[in-house]
Amino acid sequence: MDTHAAIAQIEDACKTISLAMMKVVPAARHLGDETVRDEVMKSAHQLTVELEVIKKKMIRLKGRDESALL
Protein backbone atom coordinates (compact mmCIF):
# COMPACT_ATOMS: atom_id res chain seq x y z
CA MET A 1 0.00 0.00 0.00
CA ASP A 2 1.37 3.40 -0.91
CA THR A 3 0.97 6.62 1.06
CA HIS A 4 -1.98 7.87 -1.00
CA ALA A 5 -3.89 4.62 -0.50
CA ALA A 6 -3.13 4.65 3.23
CA ILE A 7 -4.35 8.24 3.56
CA ALA A 8 -7.53 7.41 1.65
CA GLN A 9 -8.18 4.36 3.83
CA ILE A 10 -7.64 6.35 7.04
CA GLU A 11 -9.86 9.20 5.81
CA ASP A 12 -12.60 6.73 4.89
CA ALA A 13 -12.39 5.10 8.33
CA CYS A 14 -12.55 8.53 10.00
CA LYS A 15 -15.68 9.35 8.00
CA THR A 16 -17.31 6.08 9.09
CA ILE A 17 -16.41 6.69 12.72
CA SER A 18 -17.67 10.29 12.55
CA LEU A 19 -21.03 9.16 11.19
CA ALA A 20 -21.34 6.57 13.95
CA MET A 21 -20.40 9.10 16.64
CA MET A 22 -23.20 11.40 15.44
CA LYS A 23 -25.61 8.75 16.73
CA VAL A 24 -24.02 8.37 20.17
CA VAL A 25 -24.64 11.81 21.65
CA PRO A 26 -28.35 12.06 20.79
CA ALA A 27 -28.92 8.55 22.14
CA ALA A 28 -26.90 9.27 25.28
CA ARG A 29 -29.22 12.15 26.14
CA HIS A 30 -31.97 9.61 26.74
CA LEU A 31 -30.06 7.46 29.22
CA GLY A 32 -31.81 7.32 32.56
CA ASP A 33 -28.65 7.43 34.66
CA GLU A 34 -27.25 10.97 34.78
CA THR A 35 -23.77 9.85 35.83
CA VAL A 36 -23.51 7.33 33.00
CA ARG A 37 -24.93 9.87 30.53
CA ASP A 38 -22.35 12.46 31.53
CA GLU A 39 -19.50 9.97 31.22
CA VAL A 40 -20.70 8.83 27.79
CA MET A 41 -20.97 12.45 26.62
CA LYS A 42 -17.49 13.24 27.95
CA SER A 43 -15.99 10.15 26.32
CA ALA A 44 -17.75 10.86 23.03
CA HIS A 45 -16.29 14.36 23.06
CA GLN A 46 -12.79 13.02 23.71
CA LEU A 47 -13.14 10.51 20.88
CA THR A 48 -14.29 13.26 18.54
CA VAL A 49 -11.32 15.45 19.47
CA GLU A 50 -8.87 12.61 18.83
CA LEU A 51 -10.58 11.79 15.54
CA GLU A 52 -10.15 15.40 14.44
CA VAL A 53 -6.44 15.17 15.27
CA ILE A 54 -6.13 12.18 12.94
CA LYS A 55 -8.06 13.96 10.17
CA LYS A 56 -5.86 17.07 10.44
CA LYS A 57 -2.70 14.94 10.31
CA MET A 58 -3.94 13.36 7.08
CA ILE A 59 -4.67 16.78 5.58
CA ARG A 60 -1.16 17.95 6.44
CA LEU A 61 0.39 14.77 5.08
CA LYS A 62 -1.57 15.11 1.84
CA GLY A 63 -0.42 18.71 1.52
CA ARG A 64 3.19 17.65 2.01
CA ASP A 65 2.89 14.95 -0.64
CA GLU A 66 1.28 17.33 -3.13
CA SER A 67 3.91 20.02 -2.58
CA ALA A 68 6.64 17.47 -3.34
CA LEU A 69 5.20 17.15 -6.85
CA LEU A 70 5.83 20.83 -7.58
User: How many CB atoms sit inside 10 A of residue 1's CB?
Assistant: 7
Q: Report whether pLDDT(62) > 90.
A: no
CA distance 63 to 12: 17
Going by C-beta distance under 8 Å and a sequence separation of 6 or more, which residues neighbour residue 40? 24, 28, 31
Angstrom distances, CA of residue 59 to CA of 8, 9, 27, 55, 68: 11, 13, 30, 6, 14
- The tens digit of pLDDT for each residue in 5-28 reads 999 999 999 999 999 999 999 999
Q: Report whether pLDDT(65) > 70.
A: no
pTM: 0.78
Query: Which residue type occupies 25?
Result: V
